[in-house]
């Protein structure tokens, strides 16, 4: 069976798996509602209330390598937070922040202008008297709800979270969300596949 490599723009409130284990009467959307390709599985996860780029494949070795924390492949997120973070708060995020019993790895964090994104359905809660800001956060790890816990730990709760790029190594060209709308998927181009498979040359 030939290998397949897909990029998917996961919408808000969709589970990043193909089955829904919710109790009867609480059915939620899953990847199965959008992707008709059999036997492909997501590399990593996005929380149901997060949006953005997912890589799916039937290449088991690639899944294993990309899920191995020691390879530290960068992932880029655009994050809308409540209020405007101070430079001190950004520095804490960059250096690593304590969440529960774990300190996050150093991250690249910067303020960005509000990006041009599709509206979220439903929209975020909006409070006229409280401003919001957008951050770009690049992580090399993926703990459970990590970005949300990081921004909350420094006092700026996450309102909206979109993964916009996945890189299989710090030197490869990243896989990007560009050209996809929420709910759409596509196969990787031959050039993207070759870039992804360079992972197997790393030690």
Q: Annotated catalytic sites, by residue?
A: 47
| Start-to-end Cα distance in the chain | 27
CA distances from 12 to 26, 93, 163, 178 (A): 16, 25, 11, 17
Determine the Cα–Cα distance for residues 106 and 60; give it in Å rounded to an integer.
29
**Exposure letters 159-182 (e unless 16+ CB within 10 A, then b):** bbbbbbbbbbbeebebbebeebeb
Q: What are the phi and psi torsion angles at 171 (to 5°)?
A: -105, -15
Determine the Cα–Cα distance for residues 121 and 104; give it in Å rounded to an integer.
31
CA distances from 67 to 33, 74, 103, 126 (A): 24, 12, 19, 35
């Amino acid at each position: 069976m030939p290998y397949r490599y897909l990029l998917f723009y996961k919408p808000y409130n969709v589970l990043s798996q193909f089955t829904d284990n919710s109790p009867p009467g609480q059915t939620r959307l899953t990847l199965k509602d959008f992707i008709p390709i059999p036997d492909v599985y997501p590399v990593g996860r996005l929380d149901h209330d997060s949006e953005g780029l997912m890589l799916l494949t039937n290449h088991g070795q690639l899944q294993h390598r990309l899920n191995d924390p020691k390879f530290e492949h960068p992932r880029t997120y655009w994050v809308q937070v409540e209020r405007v973070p101070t430079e001190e708060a950004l520095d804490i995020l960059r250096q690593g922040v304590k969440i529960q019993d774990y300190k996050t790895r150093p991250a690249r964090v910067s303020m960005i202008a509000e990006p041009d994104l599709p509206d979220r359905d439903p929209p975020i809660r909006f409070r006229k008297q409280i401003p919001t800001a957008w951050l770009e956060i690049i992580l090399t790890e993926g703990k459970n709800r990590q970005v949300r816990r990081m921004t909350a730990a420094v006092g700026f709760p996450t309102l909206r979270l979109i993964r916009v790029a996945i890189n299989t190594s710090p030197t490869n060209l990243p896989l990007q969300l560009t050209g996809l709308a929420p709910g759409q998927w596509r196969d990787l181009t031959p050039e993207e596949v070759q870039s992804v498979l360079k992972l197997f040359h790393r030690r």
